[in-house]
Amino acid sequence: MENSQPTRGKFWLIKGMMGGVLAGAVFALAEMVMNGALGKPFFGPLRMISSLVLGRQALQPSFSLAAAGFTGLLVHAVLSAVYGLIFVSAVKFRKKEYGAVSFLTAAGSLYGMLLWLLNFYVFAPLWWPQFTMVNAIWNGFAAHTFFFGTVLGAYIALVRNASLER
């Protein structure tokens, strides 16, 4: 029996959010590892993301790491889910080649790079200048492009292929 269009659309919205959260988790872990490798605080990225809602005081070592960490994880998961939802909504599956693993992985990588450019060079300087203090290559370009975008695109491609096999 063929799935109805609303159910199929809902399936993809859920998978987009799940892919966003998965890619966001990979991204956050990569950010923390890169931060440590660069000689910066391992939990710095969680403090940074929590500063979106808690303010710049979340960046201070005297601010509760538990509060900053929990808030950072929660905010990052929500943003990642929204970004995953936007990605899956933007990618069209009407043509067969648009569903290819290579296309979706490349599209995810480009999407991650676009997020980096918008977030770091448009939004951060305007509203969150603390984000301009991070390493633009490792914590910016590499993390957003490969550890978020590529992971998101590959996840959506794999889910798509698995759903076609049913």
Lowest mean pLDDT among 12-16, 122-126, 131-135, 150-154: 131-135
pLDDT given at position 96: 64
Give, as one character, the DSSP assignment of residue 75: H
pLDDT given at position 17: 96
How many angstroms separate the CA atoms of 108 and 90, rounded? Answer: 11
How many angstroms separate the CA atoms of 39 and 16, rounded? Answer: 34
Inter-axis angle of helices 65-90 and 101-118, to 10 degrees?
130
Residue with tokens 């969680």: 46
What's the predicted TM-score (pTM) here? 0.88
